[in-house]
A and B are shown apart, each in its own frame.
Chain A
């Protein structure tokens, strides 16, 4: 029995389905044909896409619109992803889940800080450690979409107890965050810093730059005059030995600061208006056996490799709540550098920049605290001459050995050094106990 042959109209509608994307306007079509086209032909043939849906919507015909609603046909929402320039491809080797951002809260009102950093930090897990000396409650903006863990004095007391000589107050509170973090990489920025802008006025993402620094090798054994050879547009120069071109793992990335640079109190007091406005577009490896003052204001490190080496050990008698009244990071930084040199790891310095807000009074700090400046005179030559024994093969071993030497060789000249040695030894023990395994908080 022969079936009814298709009508001319039917054939035309069928044919149009195949060429739907070429039509710009379906409104001249009579309603019933439009519906037929939509329901029976387009949908059934599986030919509905974003463009064609828009075409039907544009007709404004009520029946088509209500059909779309009833069938719950929705637009595909493309998530807005952060712009990834070719330079960011290296960062993709590090997953967001491998990173902790640790913030030491020395101010209770963190709302301006969090809003400034929201767009950059929101991808990551944040650890905020409240300075145990801070009396007021922390204020964090409402409705933040990212994951934050806040630790206060009670957490610190619970985990650390009173048995340790380490004081986690002031800037040292962030070390508690380093201790309880369980991620491979840690980025830490002071709470009086906000994102800076680069030479083209784009907001600088210091986390991405720090991760780039940590993910690419360091080259401590020979100086490259074009700075970081792994950056786009750069390479090793003529005369750079080939055997040294694979580099070593970078364990620490030290960033810099625009506006209020990390100068000491005497320097800033002498030039109170001085601000850093020079953006130096370079990252470089600090050569092996070369010491430098590592500022804790804007750093990142590979916690798995050097976590135990960042130790809150040197506390000044007049230690305060501004960087001019501390030296803990400088001491800690030299420990890390010695460890890195010994274990064959690298330390980079340079980008990224953060913008450091004006805060405090250098002259007041100078009146209160000059001890730190004096201590550096002894500390620097001592670290420069440090050679660890061959038996120190782990970071913990290195720190323990250094602690012993601090006690023996520096303990006599200033009680602060004796206390630092004890703190370092306690830190190694603490790290062994709660630095790994399930979180102690």
Chain B
């Protein structure tokens, strides 16, 4: 399994290349538990809800904090694409970051323990996942072949063994599982206690439900595709922000030839949200996803879509055309997707010049 210390290369910490983005509306007490793992990194806190409230950040962390007033000031009219009263606002943090990698985590997620009782350094595992290739073109039955102790199995073509760049590392959760409201209502006591010691690439052409609670990505590669949509206050839907981003980014990764991994690391999800409140938020989503999924499964990007931004704009046109008839919400969403890309390009010009805060 694990090689001897002499043969295992230490994982680079990437302290100056990675930002941790945390959306919060309450407090950041959870950071105390993460201190040994997070302290070297720069944090971007996106404060949702009432901007007059002061969110206290524990001592010793290097951070920048944005509340709704900051978002409005920085984006002006384009701020309309950033959701309010929903953790979807986190994508503002992705936009203003200047780093190559992002790790985003919810404020009710804590350090989990592996079956040996050791604390899991989630960030280190995410970095391992992002720095090693993905294998979306052919499924490896021993899962991630680049992990210590694993390899490609017999029959795996050698020409596919180099893999492709990994764009997303999707982590999982012990304790409160990420169920939808109906499932939560039926199984309020179910807890995820199963530690599955695997990381795997989600095959090309396969969609998955991406959860934003414990997610890392290569911002330089796919940042613009990680727009978390219009959710929460004033919107007919909530709790589908990360789902939307996940479907968009997977389609784009498949088109651009990048990989998405899922599995380790686990974090400990402590808070079970109110299933009745969730049901109200998700209600429309549960019906709409029946149309949305076939849409994403069949959408094709053109040959001209050679950058992520171009892919995303094309996607927004398809959304307007094909999903607009499901509900006028999708019209608004398609417009917001365009606004997002415009805002992204404004804040992230290709030149080295960085806009002042």
Contacts and interface: CB of A to CB of B under 8 A. Distances in A.
B239 interface: yes
Interface string A214-252: 000000001111110001011111111111100000000
A205 interface: no
Interface stretch (A24-32, A113-121, A259-267): A259-267
Contact of B195 (A239, A266, A276, A281): A281
Interface string B182-219: 01000100111111111000111111111100000000
B154 A324 contact: yes
B164 interface: no
- Which of B140, B157, B179 counts the most chain A CB atoms within 10 A? B157
A293 B209 contact: no
Contacts of A262: 141, 153-154
Contacts of A238: 178-180, 183, 209, 211, 239, 243, 282
A287 interface: yes
Given A295-B153, A327-B155, A373-B158, A223 B190 contact: no
Contacts of B190: 233, 235
A69 B170 CA distance: 71
Nearest to A265: B154
B149 to A, nearest CB: 5
Interface stretch (B44-52, B53-61, B286-294, B347-355): B286-294
Interface in A279-327: 279-282, 286-295, 323-324, 327
B352 to A, nearest CB: 38
B152 interface: yes
B207 A278 contact: no
B196 A280 contact: yes
Contacts of A207: none
Contacts of B139: 286, 290-292, 349
Contacts of B101: none
B134 interface: no
**B interface majority secondary structure:** loop
Given A225-B262, A235-B187, A281-B194, A377 B159 contact: yes
A127 interface: no
B206 A256 contact: no
Nearest to B239: A238
B177 A237 contact: yes
A239 B246 contact: yes
B150 interface: yes
B40 to A, nearest CB: 29
B288 to A, nearest CB: 10
B272 interface: no
Given A226-B177, A233-B194, A291-B138, A277 B149 contact: yes
A376 B137 CA distance: 14
Contacts of B183: 235-236, 238
B290 A243 contact: yes
A433 interface: no
Given A233-B192, A281-B197, A261 B142 contact: yes
A280 B156 CA distance: 20
Given A225-B172, A276-B142, A280-B196, A380 B158 contact: no
B203 A256 contact: no
Contacts of B192: 226, 233-234
B202 A264 contact: no
B146 interface: no
B209 A239 contact: yes
B332 to A, nearest CB: 21
**A interface majority secondary structure:** loop
A378 to B, nearest CB: 9
A256 B141 contact: yes
A199 interface: yes
A92 B148 CA distance: 38
A254 interface: yes
A292 B154 contact: no
A239 B155 contact: no
B157 A377 contact: yes
Interface in B110-164: 115, 137-143, 149-160
B92 interface: no
- Which of A231, A239, A290, A292 counts the most chain B CB atoms within 10 A? A239
Contacts of B240: 239
**Range of interface residues on chain B?**
35 or more
B277 interface: no
Contacts of B157: 376-377, 380
B149 A293 contact: no
B131 to A, nearest CB: 20
B73 to A, nearest CB: 33
A274 interface: yes
A156 interface: no
A222 B293 contact: yes
A243 B178 CA distance: 19
Nearest to A381: B157
Contacts of A292: 138-141
B149 A237 contact: no
Contact of A281 (B150, B170, B196): B196
Contacts of B239: 238
A263 B153 contact: yes
B87 to A, nearest CB: 13
Contacts of B207: 222-223
A402 B111 CA distance: 51
B8 interface: no
A330 B141 contact: no
A275 B157 CA distance: 21
A377 B197 contact: no
B211 A225 contact: yes
B177 A282 contact: no
Given A233-B193, A267-B151, A295 B141 contact: yes
A278 B158 contact: no
Nearest to B247: A239
Contacts of A233: 190-194
Contacts of B194: 231, 233-234, 281-282
Contacts of B137: 384
B6 interface: no
Contacts of A286: 139
A241 B209 CA distance: 9
Contacts of A377: 157-159
26 contacts: A199-B115, A223-B206, A225-B208, A225-B211, A227-B196, A231-B194, A233-B190, A234-B192, A235-B183, A235-B190, A238-B179, A238-B180, A239-B211, A243-B290, A264-B152, A266-B158, A276-B142, A278-B198, A280-B196, A282-B196, A290-B203, A293-B153, A376-B158, A377-B157, A377-B158, A384-B138
Closest 10 CB pairs of A and B: A293-B155, A239-B209, A330-B155, A292-B139, A223-B208, A287-B206, A264-B154, A238-B180, A239-B243, A290-B203
Given A261-B153, A276-B142, 17 more contacts: A223-B208, A225-B178, A225-B211, A235-B187, A237-B180, A238-B211, A263-B151, A267-B151, A279-B197, A291-B138, A293-B141, A293-B156, A295-B141, A295-B155, A330-B154, A330-B155, A380-B157
Interface of B: 1, 115, 137-143, 149-160, 170, 172, 177-180, 183, 187, 190-198, 202-211, 239-240, 242-243, 246, 262, 282, 286, 289-290, 293
